[in-house]
Structure 1
Amino acid sequence: MKHAFQWVRSILFVTQIYIMMPVIGLAFAPIALFTRKGAYGACKTYSRWVFWTAKWMVGLRVEVRGTPPDYEAMVAAKHQSFLDIMMIFTAIPAGKFIMKREILWTPVIGQYAYRLECVPVVRNKRGAAIEKMLEEVEAGRKHPGQLIIYSQGTRLAPGVKAPYKIGTGLLYEQMQQPCVPVATNVGVFWPRTGIFRKPGLAVVEFLDPIPPGKPREEFMEELERVIEDASDRLLEEAKQYT
């Protein structure tokens, strides 16, 4: 009975967050069309709405640990579901994502992604995607902020291992900025697919920044090690709720 009730709560929660996405997006549209600040305000308002309703509708709380960067930096994160996107974005002042080009065609989300200067890439054309990504990132420096990249290139279930893509290393070399690794366990409670949401504490943790100037291979090895170790630790912590 308890499991069935959680299913009902999950369905209601997911339904209302998809309804509220265009509602909030359209409400902020007059401001967002003319100012990037308005676009950030809309996206962060929506994220906070999701966090608030998740707490009382499905019993899912969120927590950001560590020190999010308030300076120009690359943020290289573990990606497990839509929830870590919202948590990272809300925690930093001026984030923009490297994302699939198809997202630009999504109603409301695509328009806001364009306004925030997110960097679209074509994932099935790896070499061209990396080259284009580097060009777009360089061109986007006219608006300083935090560039967010998911180093494994896709959402993965908690505990699943996958290689870290070379694009992160190339960006690290080009940008000559600190890289802030981010670990998470959100996929335990908000999976990458499906609508069932589990109660508990979803965590995104900003780890110690990696300074610029390291050799690419050394940087990639350190990045993978610190993110995977911290994510495994958070996964163990999450087991108390399952």
Structure 2
Amino acid sequence: MRYAIALFRSILFWMLFGLMSALCSIGAVVALPVSHRATQWFVHMWARFHRFITRFVLGQRVIVEGAMPDSPLLYVFKHEGAFETIDQPLLFKWPAVFAKEELFSIPVWGQAAHLYGLIPVDRDGGGKAMRAMLNAARAALEKGRPLVLFAEGTRVPHGLAPPLRSGFAGVYRLLGVPVIPVAVNSGLVYPPRRWVKWPGTITYRVGETIPAGLPRAEAEHRVWRAINALNPPEALERSE
């Protein structure tokens, strides 16, 4: 019975979310000639509607432990599901999120993401792609936008703690800005690559700010431990 209820809720959720995603993506693209703020408005409406239906259709609550300043810093999030990627416009006014290059090829949505100011990450593009990514990140920082990086590179089921991708070290060293790590346990109720979602609580736990300029190994270890703070302790013990 529990599974049947969750399945029904999930089907309704995906229907509503798919419809709203299409409407907001089209609106964001069409609105750009009128105003860039209008494009941002559509993106925020999309994220707000997603949060609304996760709450009242799926039965999920969100808790934020700690403060996330809306400042030009580098945020590194744990990545357990699509939830925290969609939720970014509710956490910050205008975040610059590092996103996989292939996402920008999605019809309409990809164009809307580009217009909003997401930063493409081309892992196979070599030095030229890296320079373009860093230039886009620096431009975002100059505008006062926080940078958001999912340093594990892909969605990770709850309880797993893989090492950070090597790209984090390059971004951290070359941008020279402090890092705020954020743990997320969305995978418990919003599991990756699963259609069925579950009621429950999603927690963001903000870690201590990590200053710029630390040795690579120390910075990576501090970020890794902080973003996995909501995992079971044995998960960290197995991974270290």
Q: TM-score, normalised by structure 1?
A: 0.87
Aligned match of 2:224: 224
Alpha-carbon displacement from aligned partner over 1:11-39 (angstroms, at most 9, x marks no partner): 11112101111112334444344544323
Q: Tell me the distance in 1 between the aligned counterparts of 2:110 and 2:102.
A: 8
Verify: 1:82 aligned to 2:115, yes or no.
no
Tell whether the 8 Å contact from 1:64 to 1:203 is kept in structure 2 after alignment: yes
Instruction: Mark the CA change 1:224 to 1:46 in structure 2 (over 3 Å): closer, same or farther.
Output: same
Match runs of 1:163-202 below 5 Å: 163-202=163-202
Q: Tell me the distance in 1 between the aligned counterparts of 2:26 and 2:136.
A: 27
Q: Secondary structure at the match of 2:230?
A: helix
> Which residue type is aligned with residue 149 of structure 1?
L
Q: Tell me the distance in 2 between the aligned counterparts of 1:196 and 1:121.
A: 29
> Which residue type is aligned with residue 230 of structure 2?
S
Once the 2 structures are TM-superposed, how far is the Cα of residue 168 of structure 1 from its aligned partner? 1.2
Q: Secondary structure at the match of 1:62?
A: strand
Once the 2 structures are TM-superposed, how far is the Cα of residue 124 of structure 1 from its aligned partner? 4.3
Moved more, 27-36 or 168-177: 27-36
> Which residue type is aligned with residue 176 of structure 1?
G
Tell whether the 8 Å contact from 1:69 to 1:180 is kept in structure 2 after alignment: no
Once the 2 structures are TM-superposed, how far is the Cα of residue 171 of structure 1 from its aligned partner? 1.3
Moved more, 25-34 or 198-207: 25-34
Aligned match of 1:239: none
Q: Secondary structure at the match of 1:93?
A: coil
> Which residue type is aligned with residue 26 of structure 1?
I
Match runs of 1:134-213 below 5 Å: 134-213=134-213
Q: Tell me the distance in 2 between the aligned counterparts of 1:222 and 1:20.
A: 38
Report which of the two has the higher share of helix: 1
Instruction: Mark the CA change 1:142 to 1:73 in structure 2 (over 3 Å): closer, same or farther.
Output: closer
Aligned length: 235
Q: Tell me the distance in 2 between the aligned counterparts of 1:137 and 1:210.
A: 18
Q: Tell me the distance in 2 between the aligned counterparts of 1:34 and 1:215.
A: 46
Q: Tell me the distance in 2 between the aligned counterparts of 1:155 and 1:52.
A: 22
In structure 2, runs of 5+ residues without a counterpart are 236-240
In structure 1, runs of 5+ residues without a counterpart are 237-242
Instruction: Mark the CA change 1:214 to 1:64 in structure 2 (over 3 Å): closer, same or farther.
Output: same
Q: Which runs of 4+ in 1 moved over 6 A?
A: none
Instruction: Mark the CA change 1:33 to 1:231 in structure 2 (over 3 Å): closer, same or farther.
Output: farther
Match runs of 1:57-96 below 5 Å: 57-96=57-96
Percentage of pairs with the same residue: 25
Instruction: Mark the CA change 1:139 to 1:91 in structure 2 (over 3 Å): closer, same or farther.
Output: closer
Aligned match of 1:15: 15
Tell whether the 8 Å contact from 2:95 to 2:145 is kept in structure 1 after alignment: yes
Match runs of 1:31-50 below 5 Å: 31-50=31-50
Tell whether the 8 Å contact from 1:170 to 1:216 is kept in structure 2 after alignment: no
Tell whether the 8 Å contact from 2:74 to 2:146 is kept in structure 1 after alignment: yes
Instruction: Mark the CA change 1:63 to 1:70 in structure 2 (over 3 Å): closer, same or farther.
Output: same
CA RMSD of aligned residues (A): 2.4
Instruction: Mark the CA change 1:136 to 1:162 in structure 2 (over 3 Å): closer, same or farther.
Output: same
